[in-house]
Amino acid sequence: EDQVTQSPEALRLQEGESSSLNCSYTVSGLRGLFWYRQDPGKGPEFLFTLYSAGEEKEKERLKATLTKKESFLHITAPKPEDSATYLCAPKPDSWGKLQFGAGTQVVVTP
Amino acid sequence: KAGVTQTPRYLIKTRGQQVTLSCSPISGHRSVSWYQQTPGQGLQFLFEYFSETQRNKGNFPGRFSGRQFSNSRSEMNVSTLELGDSALYLCASSLGGARYNEQFFGPGTRLTVL
């Protein structure tokens, strides 16, 4: 079974203070990876699919990158509305089963 | 395009009862996956349905079951509820034709077992 580790567990940022989140995983073969964002009490919201090592995707203040063993989610000049838990999951090797990391809880203060 | 909908949004039950949760996928999506989310265990996969057939199942007891209808809507049932079944239950839909399709989640059903 895939092992997915996210770090740090929690991150507190000042508005405008850029930072990076890490998602590392052990999989039988690199298949790509998903990033999601989850607000308290809500379902995860899809952010990105990364298909292969070296790929980058951007959305507003978020940029996700992928290597063979890990992915980074960079948050540039964050705003309070970027506060959420960010989850990663390797693309599944079996039907429908996403295995998520425990997530990084990000709090951005004004 | 409407997103994934789940009903009810909140549910309170007592131990020993059973519960049925409903999920309507995004139009055109044929795969529905179910997850349980708790603070201690995070998001855990329950099962996945495609074209009314269960294609995959997680490591949950037989008290947890599901089904899918011809219109792709899905239900999950939990019988003989236990206190530990209190959780946010999420369903996610995807096109389903490939294992790597992105999954889109509903808002969840918050189940509290007293």
Contact assessment for residue B49 and residue B30, using Cβ atoms and an 8 Å cutoff: no
* Alpha carbon distance B55, B104 (integer Å): 18
Q: Do B105 and A45 touch (CB under 8 A)?
A: yes
Amino acid (1-letter code) at residue B74: S
The reply to whether B109 touches chain A by the CB within 8 Å rule is: no
The CA distance from A75 to the nearest CA of chain B, in Å, is 22
Strand ranges in chain B using DSSP code E only, listed in sequence order: 5-7, 10-13, 19-24, 31-38, 42-50, 53-57, 64-68, 74-78, 87-94, 104-105, 109-113
For A2-56, how does the pLDDT look when each residue is reduced to its tens digit (9 = 90+)? Answer: 789 999 999 999 999 999 999 998 876 667 899 999 999 999 999 999 988 899 9
For B31-65, how does the pLDDT look when each residue is reduced to its tens digit (9 = 90+)? Answer: 999 999 998 889 999 999 999 999 999 999 999 99
* Alpha carbon distance B102, A92 (integer Å): 10
**Closest Cβ opposite residue B100 in set A44, A91, A101:** A91
C-alpha closest to that of B42 among B88, B76, B85: B88
For residue A39, give the chain B residue with the closest CA. B107
Give the model's confidence band at A97: pLDDT under 50 very low, under 70 low, under 90 confident, else very high: confident
